[in-house]
Structure 1
């Protein structure tokens, strides 16, 4: 029997509706839940970029009350913090409370390109609303990817997943300390597990170990990285190279970029390290064409003052004063070598993703997981200590850190196990 061929419908073939073309299994959009700190939010956006959703994400932010006595309440969970703040307002009255806030102003978050992000331009994170959007738009737009980072975002991201488990895929960046099963994936640096290592066990007294997390090795939904995720991918660096070409391309080579952070609880330093850095920089000036120095928001004034006083008048040295566009991405694109203080996991992770020489200052002052991170970098030979004896014109290389791309690959694998994929 000859097969029957049905005629084509008038007007030619009919397009298959998107919903029947894998629409319910394809992620086309993302939500980023941030905490207002660039180091955390840039990790989320970096992962979203690596997943191809750079232009299709919405930023929400967990907003704590700020100013005055609120700075002393930051150790509380966000919900409890807001309750306490409300009680204080009732007791003191709004006018008195506003006066208290004004005694300590908070500057807006600064993005990588120097723009300011005020709270008024960011949606406040509401777990119930985000979950409702995911459920209500699922049949039309497919699943929702949720990426969060930072302690304040943990409860919001986990609540979104509990309210819409069939409609969202939740990635929590940085270790949430407990109950990892609240998330589909957890992306965290390997050094967060320093407390379980033999060195960590020696550093931490027995009676304190029960209070320190994590207390268990990573399970299958934990993605371990070397450093922090970030946005400094090849596409971003190509754009930065073009944007900063006129200012940075003409500089005498080699161009040495110096990024100075600020002391932390486990990486403490002050004026003594600044003086050491100044002396070492003077020693390598002869082998540098140009030096560009930048401070972070955490840099103590006593540190920046020493650097400015000792080096600002040298013809080879330029120190960014914080005014105008932030040259950070331009520096990553155009630098021939970097010197970075050991406190900043983010700045080190970005620099080590370029494959260019990276020298560290102050690694010997780090303890606990910061010390573990420094040891990993040195074991991988992606960094060297800065002593002042270097010839900056001598280039050396290494396999660049590729944490963001590798984390994105793990997200894709986990989505595939669930029967979902990302829009290409």
Structure 2
């Protein structure tokens, strides 16, 4: 019988959901699992402030509307969570299932690893232990097949853009970095300089965290350039942009987006935002030393890069650690 598998993250955390779903899909593709289901959970007060400990784990942590999403279906055989807020609810599910549900958590939950069956953390996180797997970057859903099929689906639509083609991935504000109007004006000037110097075409996309004012500045700046912008309306061409791109420019606020860009094996240029994070700095330093990224300064730099792809081995390591092989 196929094992059931859920990917669960906190509401609105698209990057975290991509990580959990990426691992769930990799396990599914390896056989032995049913089609993954995904959910986004939302805590109610006071559980938003509860310590990360099984004693505080409760199914009542979720809002009534959020709990209703799960219906009366049985708890899954495997629950994959990502991000601290979903980690506590995973402990509640394990208690409710009588210990039957296997817990896999992605990222450091800032608690003892022994509460979960397996942790997967990037090397710039601190968690370590016998049940902890270390990844170079963030897990993701990007695969060669998705890049190929995504590129083929939009090839004619973007055939008018000149080569080389550059995918530009825009994030937004978080607690470490600020993406504001002043920064966007400067970034648009850099993109214009890149086009004038290299004759490249631009395929740009925003994220959920991109502000409306900043998106309007980007849209206006790209209007006079050989460029296309996906602004959140219509089918998302993200995989297609990555597949068609000869190089990628990505803002520095998202380990997930940078990891996805690096998984393509194409040159990745990281655009700095105001702010700083020691964890992010350690991640950047590692990629710089491996020759996987360069800082973006308005020039299109291209070099022979290689793929950074933890997904090639993490799913296999999970199967081995948990005795599924």
For 1:183-198, what aligned pairs fall within 5 Å after superposition? 183-193=116-126
Structure index of larger Rg:
1
C-alpha change, 1:273 and 1:295, in structure 2 (3 Å) is same
- Give the TM-score taking structure 1 as reference length: 0.66
Are 2:182 and 1:272 equivalent residues in the alignment? yes
Offset at 1:313?
2.9
Q: Give 5+ residue unaligned stretches, structure 1.
A: 1-22, 87-118, 135-143, 194-216
The answer as to whether partners of 2:167 and 2:241 remain within 8 angstroms in 1 is: yes
Distance between the aligned counterparts of 1:123 and 1:354, measured in 2? 38
Q: Give 5+ residue unaligned stretches, structure 2.
A: 51-55
Are 2:193 and 1:283 equivalent residues in the alignment? yes
The structure carrying a bigger helix percent of its residues is 1
Which whole-Å deviations, capped at 9, do the CAs of 1:47-106 have from their partners, x for residues lacking one?
Answer: 0111135862223442346xxxx8xx78434989978989xxxxxxxxxxxxxxxxxxxx
**Residue of structure 2 equivalent to 1:94:** none
Find the residue that maps to 1:343 and give its secondary structure.
coil
Distance between the aligned counterparts of 2:14 and 2:119, measured in 1? 19
C-alpha change, 1:165 and 1:245, in structure 2 (3 Å) is farther
Which whole-Å deviations, capped at 9, do the CAs of 1:280-337 have from their partners, x for residues lacking one?
Answer: 21222131331122211111234223222333233x1222232211111111111111
Offset at 1:246?
2.3
**Residue of structure 2 equivalent to 1:35:** 10
For 1:341-360, what aligned pairs fall within 5 Å after superposition? 341-360=251-270
C-alpha change, 1:350 and 1:288, in structure 2 (3 Å) is farther
Distance between the aligned counterparts of 1:265 and 1:192, measured in 2? 17
Which whole-Å deviations, capped at 9, do the CAs of 1:167-193 have from their partners, x for residues lacking one?
Answer: 332211121111211111111222222
Are 2:217 and 1:306 equivalent residues in the alignment? yes
Are 2:323 and 1:403 equivalent residues in the alignment? no
For 1:13-412, what aligned pairs fall within 5 Å after superposition? 28-36=3-11, 37-53=13-29, 56-64=35-43, 75-77=48-50, 124=69, 133=75, 144-164=77-97, 167-193=100-126, 218-249=128-159, 251-286=161-196, 287-314=198-225, 316-362=226-272, 365-390=275-300, 395-412=302-319
C-alpha change, 1:282 and 1:158, in structure 2 (3 Å) is same
Distance between the aligned counterparts of 2:68 and 2:5, measured in 1? 14
Q: What is the number of residues matched between the two proteins?
A: 315
Root-mean-square deviation (Å): 3.1
Could you tell which deviates more after superposition, 229-238 or 50-59? 50-59
Offset at 1:357?
0.8
**Residue of structure 2 equivalent to 1:141:** none
The answer as to whether partners of 1:62 and 1:125 remain within 8 angstroms in 2 is: no
Find the residue that maps to 1:191 and give its secondary structure.
coil
